[in-house]
Structure 1
Amino acid sequence: MSQSVSRIGRLGELFLQKGLLTPEQIDQVAQLQKEKKLRFGDAALALGYLSQTQLDQALGEQFGYSTKDLLNGSADKSLKFFYFPFSKEAEEIRRLRSELLLKFSGQEKIKVTLVSPARRDGKSYMAASLAIALSQVGKRTLLVDADLRSGNLHEYFSLGKPDGLSSVLAGRIKATDALIQLMPNLYFLPAGPQPPNPLEILRAPRMRELLESCSEQFDAFVVDTHTATLASDAQMVAHQTGSVLLVARQDHTYVDELRQAKADMQAAGVEVLGTIFNQYESAEAAHFAPFTWALRLLSRLFRRKN
């Protein structure tokens, strides 16, 4: 390796190892970096040698945001927080994580249920992203798919159709046999087989007792639920976790339905932490990008309550 390549440091070496840049290109990047006083990545972008996506992925590896590899299964490409940890969307999810850490700083455990009034609001996507984010700051996190009617969180991790929550709550298997480790600090409890009586299976205090039985193993619990307007499952689950983040989608979620979901949660004695508004990027996209202003609104709600 040439001396100029060596001076670039780990990021340049990483691109060289991946075959994304040649030694000659790295020398040219180094020259532009010196002339314009740019960062390595910005110089490579200016020369057209790298895309923003390639740069984000490399920065993620360099700064310890593990990408691509799970201990079990594989992460879906739509999980931007996982694959593109320096994207604008990932930064907003980290902002949400920070607000939750502040909110629960005086409590032993973080327990939050994600609820949306309509289908395809981005709730499950946000639950998966938030669980990953919490695990990356050292919180031992359990992601629970409590949608026993149409839960599909397992698809985000390419896990087939594993057994899970429904069988645990029905007493057929132990929770320890259903937990799937995804990352060093992240475990997943899938929904499991669809039962004929999901609301009865989820009734209090079954979910609460399950989470309490895992309290020594985990610091944070992120729970996904069934669509709130289609059944009472979400209300039942949220009642047992105690706090809710509502999830809505721009130009998709009806305000009246969102208000009703909030009223239902409050009637069940659940603290509504705030609302996340998502923007659906395209008909083909499988992910949802959170609005900056929505998370700022969430921040103000937290400060008023503290």
Structure 2
Amino acid sequence: MVINKRKTLAETKKRTLITYSFPESIISEQFRTIQTNIKFSIAEQKGRKFLITSPSEGEGKSTTSANLAVSMAQQKERVLLIDANLRNPSLHSFFKLPNSNGLTEVLTGKSSFEEAINHTEIGRLDVLTSGFIPHNPVELLGSNMMQELLNYALQSYDVILIDSNAVLDVTDTKLLVQQCDGVVLVMQNGKTKIEKAKEAKKVLDFAKARLVGVVFNQ
């Protein structure tokens, strides 16, 4: 059974989803440029699963994930945005969605993929929220169920974007890297220290990640 949970975005924070509220803005155009760069960078490999992370928390990776997903959906792409930050999720608040049934419930077999999906009014953008915060996020994200979920989703979507934890904070992100075709690293101008950026790059290289872009937030 597919539950269609379309939500109005009238109450959505305009500053958060600027690509939705102000699609003609300079920032929205920058997100379209990021989107184009990603497409060109993976054209030969035909990658479709992308992880968005940052060296540390608070650098804007979730905001970047949400706006990049909106930008892609506005270009007629079928986009699935997954909140795989099972420790401190936030995407449900960006889109004003319930978070009682999400990724955690699908991975633990408590819900089907179709029941957990939230359909938005933005093009063909669907959101899979995190669901309840589990006691074993590493085990869930590194499970065969996670890989099966992504493979199943590829049958219905052109692009899958995964918002994750900061790569230097926990093991979760390293596990997800191995299941994705590319990684976008988000850093905040004036906050991200060069040492942290280099360490994040080293960790991603060790995990054999394909870095397809770096986003600098102001």
Same fold (TM over 0.5): yes
2:208 to 247, 257, 269: 269
1:192 and 2:127 correspond: no
Matches of 1:166 and 1:73 in 2, distance apart? 24
1:105 and 2:43 correspond: yes
Give the match for residue 77 of structure 1.
14
Task: Report deviation, 1:73.
Answer: 4.2
Q: 1:121 to 1:257 in 2, by over 3 A?
A: same
Query: Is residue 187–residue 214 contact of structure 2 (8 Å, CA) maintained in 1?
Result: yes
Map residues 158-173 of structure 1 onto 2, 5 A cutoff.
Answer: 158-173=96-111
Query: Is residue 247–residue 275 contact of structure 1 (8 Å, CA) maintained in 2?
Result: yes
Give the match for residue 253 of structure 1.
192
1:91 and 2:29 correspond: yes
Give the percent of matched residue pairs that are identical in Structure 1 and Structure 2.
30
Helix, strand or coil at the partner of 2:154? coil
Matches of 1:242 and 1:99 in 2, distance apart? 15
Q: What are the superposed Cα offsets for residues 206-249 of structure 1, whole Å, 9 maximum, x if unpaired?
A: 32221111111100011100122221111111111131011000
> Quick one: higher RCO (CA 8 Å, sep 6+), 1 or 2?
2
Query: Is residue 113–residue 223 contact of structure 1 (8 Å, CA) maintained in 2?
Result: yes
Q: Which amino acid aligns with 2:167?
A: A
Give the match for residue 117 of structure 1.
55
Moved more, 154-163 or 243-252: 154-163
Q: 1:104 to 1:201 in 2, by over 3 A?
A: same
Map residues 142-221 of structure 1 onto 2, 5 A cutoff.
Answer: 142-182=80-120, 183-221=122-160
Moved more, 89-98 or 227-236: 227-236
Give the aligned length: 210
1:232 and 2:171 correspond: yes
Q: Which amino acid aligns with 1:198?
A: P
Give the match for residue 17 of structure 1.
none
Matches of 1:141 and 1:216 in 2, distance apart? 12
Q: Which amino acid aligns with 2:209?
A: V
TM-score, structure 2 as length reference: 0.91
Q: 1:100 to 1:274 in 2, by over 3 A?
A: closer
Q: What are the superposed Cα offsets for residues 178-203 of structure 1, whole Å, 9 maximum, x if unpaired?
A: 01001341100000000001111111
Query: Is residue 78–residue 124 contact of structure 2 (8 Å, CA) maintained in 1?
Result: yes
Task: Report deviation, 1:107.
Answer: 4.4
Matches of 1:126 and 1:117 in 2, distance apart? 14
1:278 and 2:213 correspond: no
Q: Which amino acid aligns with 1:127?
A: S
Higher helix share: 1
Q: What are the superposed Cα offsets for residues 2-54 of structure 1, whole Å, 9 maximum, x if unpaired?
A: xxxxxxxxxxxxxxxxxxxxxxxxxxxxxxxxxxxxxxxxxxxxxxxxxxxxx
Matches of 1:226 and 1:73 in 2, distance apart? 27
Q: 1:170 to 1:254 in 2, by over 3 A?
A: same
Q: Which amino acid aligns with 1:152?
A: S
Structure 2: unaligned runs, 5 residues or longer: none
Matches of 1:172 and 1:73 in 2, distance apart? 27
Matches of 2:138 and 2:107 in 1, distance apart? 11
Helix, strand or coil at the partner of 1:240? coil
Matches of 1:91 and 1:194 in 2, distance apart? 34
